[in-house]
Structure 1
Amino acid sequence: MRVIVALPRSSDDDLLRSTGLTLTEYVVLMSLSEGENQELRMANLAAATALSASRITRVVDALQSRGQVVKRRYEGDARGNVATSYWATCSPTKYPQQRSGPSENRRTVMRDRGRVQRE
């Protein structure tokens, strides 16, 4: 029974240390990235992440305060909100430019974080 409790906590701690995201925030961003136009209605996002409506609201609000998500009213129904990944709102020129290949891009990211590692 300890593994069921300890493993998610350990994974959450590792992810938080390496990316600054909790496991829940990561799952929310992943779900948004898989949505059409990288957006989902809040109710659909809650269902996709198995979170309650109030919990998804708190998580999205935290991500929005850090500039990773944009939340707006749903145009088709004034009662609902839509969460959109920040990257979906950027023009293509704002996306990070990929260098020669994935491995070079990975080295650049690692260098930017202060840990230069070669593959």
Structure 2
Amino acid sequence: MSTEQTADEVPWLRRDQQEHWIALMGVISTLPAALDAQLKRDAGLNLYEYQVLVQLSESPKGTVPMSDLAMLASGSLSRLSHAVGRLERSGYVSRVACREQGRRTAAVLTEAGRTKLEQTAPGHVREARRLVVDALTPEQLTMLGGAARRILEVTAPDVAAMLEP
């Protein structure tokens, strides 16, 4: 058998690779659900809404154009629009025109939104520590972070670039 693969050959995973892949898929499917459940239970927010508030809070003026915010929060414009609508009804976010950037709309974090985030963050951090940070050794956490950044470079280079120090 030739060591060169033809275009039709499938590079099947070895058993050890498959085991790692299955474990990763388990994390990808269960971790967001666990974080989402804690946020809904304790704060009445879902994980995506929380991420939107976090991204807005990290902006110097608490304002981010909707298209940029969709990318930062890893969602489509449609998903973001629905989430911002829910956050607006709760008084946590408002929408404004971005005159300096053409005819764009931006989301703005309100004082009520900042307060909600400050109240919500401690419980979310405790859950993130319980589920991930404290479950790993410092070395494992460093390796996980490096691996996650590398995967992001392949799946979402624009997002990976934003994470660079």
TM-score range, shorter chain: 0.5 to 0.7
Name the SS of the counterpart of 2:68 in structure 1: helix
Q: TM-score, normalised by structure 2?
A: 0.50
Written as runs of structure 1 = structure 2, the 5 A alignment for 1:1-119 is 1-77=25-101, 79-87=103-111
Q: TM-score, normalised by structure 1?
A: 0.68
Distance of 1:13 and 1:80 partners within structure 2: 33
Distance of 1:25 and 1:16 partners within structure 2: 10
Name the SS of the counterpart of 2:95 in structure 1: strand
- AA matched with 1:81: T
Which string of whole-angstrom CA distances, capped at 9 and with x for unpartnered residues, describes residues 50-75 of structure 1? Answer: 11111111111110011000111222
Mind listing any 5+ residue stretches in structure 1 that lack a counterpart?
96-105, 107-119
Distance of 1:14 and 1:6 partners within structure 2: 13
- Across the aligned residues of Structure 1 and Structure 2, the Cα RMSD in angstroms comes to 2.4
User: Is the Cα–Cα contact under 8 Å of residues 15 and 23 in structure 1 kept in the other structure?
Assistant: yes
Larger Rg: 2
- Percent of aligned pairs sharing the same letter: 34
User: Is the Cα–Cα contact under 8 Å of residues 60 and 69 in structure 1 kept in the other structure?
Assistant: yes
Query: Closer, same or farther in 2 for the Cα pair 1:43/1:88, shift >3 Å?
Result: farther
Name the SS of the counterpart of 2:61 in structure 1: helix
User: Is the Cα–Cα contact under 8 Å of residues 37 and 88 in structure 1 kept in the other structure?
Assistant: no
Query: Closer, same or farther in 2 for the Cα pair 1:10/1:77, shift >3 Å?
Result: same
Tell me by how many angstroms 1:3 deviates: 3.9
Tell me by how many angstroms 1:77 deviates: 4.6
User: Is the Cα–Cα contact under 8 Å of residues 55 and 72 in structure 2 kept in the other structure?
Assistant: yes
User: Is the Cα–Cα contact under 8 Å of residues 38 and 88 in structure 1 kept in the other structure?
Assistant: no
Query: Closer, same or farther in 2 for the Cα pair 1:34/1:61, shift >3 Å?
Result: same
